[in-house]
Chains A and B, each alone.
Chain A
Amino acid sequence: MTVGARVAMRTGWSRRTRQERLVYKLLLPVFGTVFVLATIPFVMAVIEALTAGSRGFVGFDNFATALSNPLLFESIKQTALYAAIALPVEILGGLGVALLVHRVVRSAALRAAIYVLAMIPIVIPQIAVGVVFRLVYQPDYGILNVLLGRTGADQLLWLSSPPLAMIATASVDIWQWTPFVYLVLFAGLQTVPSESVEAAQVDGASSWMQFRHIELPYLRPLLLLVLFFRLADVVRVFDHVYVLTGGGPGTTTQYLSLYIYRIGFQFSDLSQASALAVVVMAAMTIFYTIISRFLPADRG
């Protein structure tokens, strides 16, 4: 063993090659800074949640206050209902349209046109989406009531009667995100090898069997991806609801993000809001840890 090799054995750092050391030299300063900047809020939220202004350290009082507020559970329930309305429609609708376009539309130009059309709702600002649907659902001026009026039906208070307000806000979610599900699943269908499909057709497989046994296995990881992204996004829902109903009527559309906003910035109880923020960040981190192993992206 040469002296140089023995020296290199001494520590983990010098055992690495020059190139491997370069990885850390380049990565650490930038990644470290960003990591700290992104982690500070979590630490600050924990500190803020454990204190209360002039009273100083209060232990878990803020968590107790936050978690014993019945309005919190009301908002979680409403968020779950919103998801229960929007997500099945988005996923089944997106899947249905993807299959239809895949089987029926052959022209490349038409497919490209559908691609662009489907992209529009996804890329426009949520606030603008709120504006768009204000023009649809507004009681006196909204186009939906105008059309209802023309057919002679009664006008409906889309944004200010409880069940309708929830359906109206969820419908916006459906309008905006069904195209996303469509785009992901349509892209997935293009990866199904045409030989397997042709073989099945020669064997006389029905359209359903072709979907169930050949296409669905290819789509499964993408369906999971879409489901996880959409589930995480339901917790973020804020902009379009704020513009449409502001969380009302009552607390019907006061979904989780709107509830935390209300505690923190309308009731100015930042201690309680921090406790909520800590709980939500912890819950989402756990959620991510669980689902990350199912995500189809290559992890390394």
Chain B
Amino acid sequence: MRRSRRSTRIATAGLLLGIAILFAFPLYYLVVTSLKTKAELFAAVPSLVPQALNLAPYSSVLFGRGFTGLLVNSVIVGLSATVLAVLVAFAICYPITRLPASRRLRGFVLNWAMSLRFLPPIAVVIPYFAIIRTIGLYNELPALILVYTIFNLPLAIWMLRGFLDEIPLELEQAALVDGASRWQAFRSVLLPLSRTAILAVVIIVFAFDWAEFLFAFILTATPQAQTFPVGVQGLVTQFEIIWNDMAAGGVIAIIIPLTLMLIARRHVMTGLTFGVIREK
């Protein structure tokens, strides 16, 4: 009895390990490919282990193909849209979590935000494309900043609302009783207490902005305003596919959100499930 239980445990552990390897392998192969030289690419049988630490594909993507400009665009759009979304989300969440807002109003705001999350980007981008061309913002970064801000608001609102709900109201009320103004209570009590929460929301919203493709693909046309994922897509769908450059582009696209998510790992699930799952 005891022995058979032990062997089942070993079998399940083996199964889990197998699944993990299967899941990790494609990513491993991406990294290996990104380090290959031209000669290795044309080997009859692609190697599964890196032969040398060849960084040429990275410099080719960043400098040879001028993707540094796209990286800069991604960072500008990501940072601006993130700051805007978090400021707006805070302005919306403050009254519905810290002040006596009616249940109906609160429910309306939160439901409206969540319903935005259910609209497919392609349906939304068609009318935005027309609007943005009309107002002359086509192929301009501000257009992307505007659209990213609006469509990451649901995430920012739901995450912030969850965090703010966990900060006891009594703390600000005590300050108010002591004669502080609402602004002072906000500045000196709520803001310091929600610093971690704001940081988590900033990181996760930025990672989502960074990964966005469809809006950028449709609302831009030249490297002047294109973002990094649009450039990576171009590497793939070109006639002549240069595998190592393409893989290097993929690695660069992955590294930034991955690093951010590792930093904010305790809050990723909260973000992805709109606050339904709370990590402790």
Contacts and interface: CB of A to CB of B under 8 A. Distances in A.
Interface residues of A, number: 94
Contacts of A199: none
Interface in B112-163: 112, 114-124, 126-131, 146, 150, 153, 158
A127 B232 contact: yes
Contacts of A108: none
Interface string A270-300: 1001101100110011011100100111011
Contacts of B23: 117, 121, 175, 179
A37 B150 CA distance: 8
B95 A26 contact: yes
A128 B273 CA distance: 22
A188 B100 CA distance: 32
A109 B277 CA distance: 21
Contacts of B46: 141, 143, 146
If over half of B's interface residues share one DSSP class (helix, strand or loop), that class is named, otherwise mixed; here it is helix
Given A34-B88, A119-B261, A287-B118, A20 B19 contact: no
Contact of B246 (A30, A126, A131, A274): A131
B92 A31 contact: yes
Given A17-B100, A104-B12, A296-B276, A128 B232 contact: yes
Nearest to A42: B127
B91 interface: yes
Interface stretch (A57-65, A83-91, A209-217, A256-264): A256-264
B7 to A, nearest CB: 12
B12 A281 contact: no
Nearest to B278: A187
* Most interface-central of B24, B26, B88, B91 (chain A CB within 10 A): B26
B109 A27 contact: yes
A39 B112 CA distance: 11
B229 A97 contact: no
A274 B99 CA distance: 40
A264 B131 contact: no
Contact of A260 (B26, B100, B123, B150): B123
A125 B253 CA distance: 7
Interface string A108-144: 0000001111011111111110111111100001010
B261 A281 contact: no
Contacts of B38: none
A166 interface: no
Contact of A183 (B94, B182, B269): B269
Interface residues of B, number: 93
Contacts of B128: 41
Given A26-B95, A38-B150, A296-B276, A127 B233 contact: yes
Contacts of B100: 17, 19-20, 23
Nearest to B257: A123
Nearest to B211: A125
Given A105-B13, A141-B46, A295-B276, 20 more contacts: A22-B95, A22-B99, A35-B112, A44-B127, A120-B27, A124-B257, A125-B210, A127-B233, A127-B253, A135-B26, A135-B29, A225-B273, A229-B273, A236-B120, A243-B237, A246-B237, A265-B218, A274-B130, A292-B111, A300-B106
Interface of A: 17, 19-20, 22-24, 26-27, 30-31, 34-35, 37-38, 40-42, 44-45, 48, 97, 100-101, 103-105, 114-117, 119-128, 130-136, 141, 143, 146, 149-150, 175, 179-180, 183-184, 187-188, 222, 225, 229, 232, 235-236, 238-239, 242-243, 246, 256-257, 260-261, 264-265, 270, 273-274, 276-277, 280-281, 284-285, 287-289, 292, 295-297, 299-300
7 contacts: A34-B92, A34-B150, A41-B131, A119-B261, A134-B236, A277-B123, A297-B114
